[in-house]
């Protein structure tokens, strides 16, 4: 059965992934995050961890409008 809304497609993909994946869903945002979240720092941290040989683990994070991250 197809997911009920667009964000459900992302969760469906996350649940079916066979490799580590990081899913971040932002409350009250669409496909493009309009607020000034520091994506560059997140990407740089991810790349540094990979270059340092730190293994990646799957993460499912919901970011509330307040900025609080809720790990699922």
pLDDT digits (tens, 9 = 90+) for 41-58: 888 999 999 999 999 999
Q: Identify any residues that bridge with 45 across adjacent strands, giving them in sequence order.
A: none
**Structural domain total, the chain:** 1
Under the banding of pLDDT at 50, 70 and 90, the label for residue 7 is confident
Per the domain annotation, does 22 fall within a domain?
A: yes
Does a structural domain hold residue 52?
yes
44 belongs to a structural domain: yes
How far apart, in whole angstroms, are the C-alpha atoms of residue 41 and residue 4? 32
37 in any annotated domain: yes
pTM of the model: 0.70
Say if strands 59-63 and 69-71 run parallel, antiparallel, or are unpaired: antiparallel
> Mean pLDDT score of the chain, rounded to an integer?
85
pLDDT score for 50: 95
Residue 12 lies in a domain: yes
1: in domain:
no
List the domain range (segments joined by +) for residue 24: 6-71
Looking at residue 6, its pLDDT comes to: 80
């Amino acid at each position: 059965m197809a997911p009920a809304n667009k964000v459900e497609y992302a969760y469906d993909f996350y649940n079916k992934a066979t490799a580590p994946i990081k899913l971040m869903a932002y409350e009250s945002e669409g496909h493009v995050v309009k607020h000034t979240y520091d994506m560059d720092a997140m990407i740089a941290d991810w790349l540094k961890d990979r270059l340092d040989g730190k293994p990646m683990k799957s993460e499912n994070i919901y970011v509330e409008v307040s900025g609080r991250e809720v790990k699922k």
